Structure 1
Amino acid sequence: MAEFSDITTFIFDVDGVLTDGCVIAYESGEQVRRFFVKDGYAIEKALAAGYHIVIISGGEQESVRKRLKFLGITDVFLGVKDKLTLFNEYTQTKHVDPSTILYMGDDIPDYKMLKLVGFPTCPADASIDIKPICKYVSPNNGGQGAVRDVIEKVMRAQGKWHPQNW
């Protein structure tokens, strides 16, 4: 797809995109999420290639922040109640053209964000309300390679996916 060649910035939701959407709630109150290692590998390669990766999520678990920091993501916004305001502030402050952004979301809280970016995407198991507004639906579910799928497609389209050199 030609749209993959215009992307400079990835914005991802967490629950249902970077994770499988399941939460394990422990008696201690801790809520644990599962991340897919192959998504993390692609994130590291995208960052090394100079792409911007931004996380915007309503959830605010510190373990999530630590995982994202471990991957090298510095633009992590958790506990966000108003994604649109944060998006507008981010794009203005960082001088990012929304038409060069790939956003991946999976449910109703992502709807308005998906309508603002140049390349809206979602995992295969996204809400039926989200799929019709996306230009690309990954064949993979959230937390099971959907993030790797879109990163790899963008990097391949731009000639930056070079496994033989890694």
Structure 2
Amino acid sequence: RIMNIRDGFAMKAAIESGYHVCIISGGKNEGVRIRLRNLGITDIHLGSPDKVETFKEYIELYNIKPEQVVYMGDDIPDYHVMQLVGLPTCPQDASSEIKAISKYISHKNGGKGAVREVIEQVMKVQGKWHMYYNGKHD
């Protein structure tokens, strides 16, 4: 798995601004888990055999409505979760099936800043990106 340093910055900014960030992946790379924990992400589900079930447990735990969720997926295992969320997104190099159901397709490829692009856009729309950028976060 490839992770862009800018993606990491954006995930950390989102967490520090009060957003929930959850990783649901079929991959099992423990190096990824360590990197994500270092960013402050606590909801990390690697090797998830059923992403829909993991997603449902996650939103129930935090009392989040599916329509409040931004989800980035890139391939068929993400398809059914993406049908449940309010804003399904994907990187530029996602499979055609995932692109077809995405409401936003990043201009960046996976691992090349796509996560950063989506998080930054969400935070900007909600007026939180500049607050974070200007050091006015907790």
Shift of 1:164: 2.9
| Cα separation, 2, equivalents of 1:157 and 1:37 | 22
Residue 104 (str. 1) matches residue 72 (str. 2): yes
Q: Indicate the residue corresponding to 1:24 in structure 2.
A: none
Alignment match, 1:7: none
The TM-score normalised by the length of structure 1 is 0.78
Deviation string, structure 1 residues 44-81 (Cα, Å, up to 9, x no partner): 11111000000000111111110100111000011100
Bigger Cα Rg: 1
More helix by share: 2
Give CA deviations for 1:16-68 in whole Å, capped at 9, x if unaligned.
xxxxxxxxxxxxxxxxx331000001111111100000000011111111010
Q: Which residue in the other structure is 1:13 paired with? A: none
Of 46, 59, 74, which aligns to 2:42? 74
Shift, 1:152, TM fit:
0.3
CA distance in 1, matches of 2:122, 2:33: 25
Report the TM-score when normalising by structure 2.
Answer: 0.94
1:53 to 2:21 alignment: yes
**Identical counterparts, % of pairs:** 54
Instruction: Please list every run of 5 or more consecutive structure 1 residues that lacks an aligned counterpart in the other structure.
Output: 1-32
Q: Which has the higher contact order (CA 8 A, sep 6+)?
A: 1
Q: Distance in 2 between matches of 1:129 and 1:87?
A: 20
RMSD: 1.0
Which of the residues 112, 134, 138 maps onto 1:164? 134
| Secondary structure of the structure 1 residue equivalent to 2:107 | coil
Task: Give the drift of 1:91.
Answer: 1.3
Residues 1:114 and 2:98 aligned together: no
**Residue 5 of structure 2 corresponds to residue 34 of structure 1:** no
The alignment of Structure 1 onto Structure 2 pairs a total of residues equal to 134
